[in-house]
Amino acid sequence: MEDFDFVKRPILIVEDEPVNRLLLAGMLEENYEILQAADGREAMRYIEKGEDIALILLDLLMPNMNGYEVLRALRERKLLTQIPVIVLTSETSAEVQSLNLGAIDFIPKPYDAPEVIRARVRRIIQMSEDSAALRRVGQDPLTGLFVPSFFFRRIERIERYAPDRVMDAMAINVNNFHLINNLYGRACGDDVLLILADALKNEMEACLGVACREHGDNFYLYMEHHANPEDMLIRIADGVRQRAGIKTLRLRMGVYPEVDRKVSMEDRFARAEHACQTLRGNYTRRVAVYDEEMFHNESFANNLLESFDEALAEGQFQVWYQPQYDIRGDVPVLSGAEALVRWLHPRYGMVRPDKFIPLFEANGLIARLDRLVWHTAASQVRKWHDEYGSKLSVSVNVSRISIRDPRLEEDLLDIAQHTGIHCRDLVLEVTESAYADSMEQLVNTVGNLRANGFLVEMDDFGSGYSSLNMLTSLPMDALKVDMKLIRHITDSEKDLHVLTLILDIARSLALPVVAEGVETQAQFDLLKQLGCDRIQGYYFSKPVTAFEFSHFLVQPTGKPA
Ligand code: C2E
Ligand code: CA
Ligand code: CA
């Protein structure tokens, strides 16, 4: 449809008067390929052959098979939605009848206004192609909104006609949409998306903007610059909350305002989305605007992504280890270590995983990094066993992506075999949010891993949307309580209460509990008193290199100096 002016569409002229056929052909042949039929039967032959016809100009009164019969035949074959028909007629009553039969428009005889005819033909072909193309690929089947590729092209077209307008690109997202799916069911989730799409459509109609569903619960808007987009978002969210009947539903929005037209369409929305991402986990703000700082962060992120392969090849990733102590006895005893990756970047120096793990998770690179870390950690365990006769196990992080990888089990078994360790020496930390994403699948995966002898711990418990009853239905070997929950146990009654509750339930399930991020003596004492099994945190040690870690192996009991 975009190349409307360059491709000659075929038009079938069905008319028994040769003069009329010639007249019409003459008006149109410059812009269209003309097919001619002298009666309905001949016309049907073209159609049955499956000829790609953009439009039919149909006379009504003809020998053999007249225009009404052609319309009926087309209707029976359900072809009228694909091929628009304009009826050629001289009487008003016939016009009404043929419109009723499914003709889309009519051209009155005699043909004395060529420019009107050309304009009609052009408009109808365009309309029909627009809607046909949309039905095929341009429209999101659930919401009826544009899909991104069409959306982008639509914007390009708008911009051709209004090159001076100042526009905003926006990304809208439902907070914790997966929870709506999990709690209320997919059908309800679909409803929410439909209602939201509808609200966006209405909003955009009012301001000549366009909306698109990017995927899942991600939507894009493109509209004339809006001084206060938050008002708009509040209005939309209120409407959706009400119609969907979900009081807790929240929307967030990222805005890339006053777009620079030199920035590609994809990048404009990537910026809006980037702004939106910064709101993740933020419950006080719902709108974020893309700015200079984000631009710098983004180029930092891009540089990291681009240097990933090089970093792997040149061994810039290092694995550090943080000790874990069993605190059930009189003195703490070294019980394990968590492997934590570090990036010694030639330009940025030591980069913390918080800066790059989320990036690599977003594009799948994390799967490769995970394997490097697992392999390194497993080889290290083997070395420690050999050199120090230790029985230490090492915990590794399994990213959200890796835990869904069908080859996970095979890869881990390979690593264990290659490095010559027992599966039980590799503890797999699976983050709580991965469980929340899709319980059922994870229960299976984790079940298989444990059947192979790997130990599996739920990481970051209490950092997100864990529910306590999740614990009863999931197979795992230990629970690792997130440091956010530990931080305030000595000064917040509430946090202490929550932690006590978790410990009680874990105890009733015979599930060992690891507390991480323990920094102070007071936290340590309290956790010991509450019956926590193991502890990891600065109280004992920060993560250190493999070399430095040997200190702990030499003296595995008591608090390290
Ligand atoms: P995590 O798995 O929750 O790891 C614990 C993080 O807490 C580590 O940060 C550790 O250095 C830090 N930490 C430990 N004790 C304390 C403490 O007492 N106080 C404070 N304030 N922090 C403490 P790190 O190494 O920066 O890792 C951050 C996150 O990055 C990790 O959180 C994990 O989600 C991810 N990560 C790290 N290494 C890997 C890896 O090899 N693979 C994958 N997939 N993710 C990794
Ligand atoms: Ca971890
Ligand atoms: Ca953790």
Binding site membership of 543 for ligand 1 (Cβ less than 6 Å)? yes
Binding site membership of 515 for ligand 1 (Cβ less than 6 Å)? no
Query: What is the token pair recorded at 205?
Result: 């109609």
**Centre of ligand 2 from the C-alpha of residue 332, in Å:** 21
CATH number of 4-138: 3.40.50.2300
Amino acid identity of 528? Answer: K
List the 287-289 sheet strands across, edge first: 210-215, 218-224, 167-174, 251-256, 287-289
Binding site membership of 428 for ligand 1 (Cβ less than 6 Å)? no
Q: What is the per-residue pLDDT across 147-197, written as a single tens digit (0 to 9) for each? A: 998 899 888 878 877 788 899 999 999 998 998 998 899 999 999 999 999
Residue 383 burial (10 A CB sphere; 0-12, 13-18, 19+): middle
**Which of 340, 368, 461, 463 best tests ligand 1's pocket when mutated (most atoms within 8 Å of CB)?**
340
Calpha distance 298→309 (Å, rounded): 19
Q: What's the confidence (pLDDT) of residue 112?
A: 82
Binding site membership of 322 for ligand 1 (Cβ less than 6 Å)? yes
Calpha distance 401→437 (Å, rounded): 11
**Centre of ligand 1 from the C-alpha of residue 181, in Å:** 29
Find residue 322's DSSP bridge partners: 338
Q: Which residues of the chain have pLDDT under 50?
A: 1-5
Where exactly are the structural domains of the chain? 4-138, 148-290, 302-549
- Asked, as a colleague might, if the bond just before 148 is cis with ω within 30 of 0, I would say no
Tokens 């962060």 correspond to what residue?
Answer: 297
Binding site membership of 350 for ligand 1 (Cβ less than 6 Å)? no
Which ligand sits nearest to residue 341's alpha carbon? 1
| Contacts (Cβ under 8 Å, ≥6 apart) of 520 | 490, 539
Residue 126 burial (10 A CB sphere; 0-12, 13-18, 19+): middle
Q: What's the confidence (pLDDT) of residue 2?
A: 38
Q: What's the confidence (pLDDT) of residue 1?
A: 35
Q: Give the count of beta carbons closer than 10 Å to the beta carbon of residue 207.
A: 11
Q: What's the confidence (pLDDT) of residue 135?
A: 61
CATH of the domain spanning 302-549, picked from 3.30.1360.70, 3.20.20.450, 1.10.3720.10, 3.40.50.2000:
3.20.20.450
Taking the alpha carbons at both ends of the chain, their separation in whole angstroms is: 73
Q: What's the confidence (pLDDT) of residue 50?
A: 75
The distance of Cα 143 from the centroid of its chain, to the nearest Å, equals: 16
What homologous superfamily does CATH list for 148-290? Answer: Reverse transcriptase/Diguanylate cyclase domain (3.30.70.270)
The answer to whether the 4-138 and 302-549 domains have the same CATH topology is no
Q: Give the count of beta carbons closer than 10 Å to the beta carbon of residue 470.
A: 15
Calpha distance 530→496 (Å, rounded): 10
Q: If you compute the radius of gyration of the chain from its CA atoms, what whole number of angstroms results? A: 33
**Which of 352, 357, 486 best tests ligand 1's pocket when mutated (most atoms within 8 Å of CB)?**
357
Binding site membership of 408 for ligand 1 (Cβ less than 6 Å)? no
| Contacts (Cβ under 8 Å, ≥6 apart) of 48 | none
Q: What's the confidence (pLDDT) of residue 5?
A: 45
DSSP 8-class letter at 54 = S
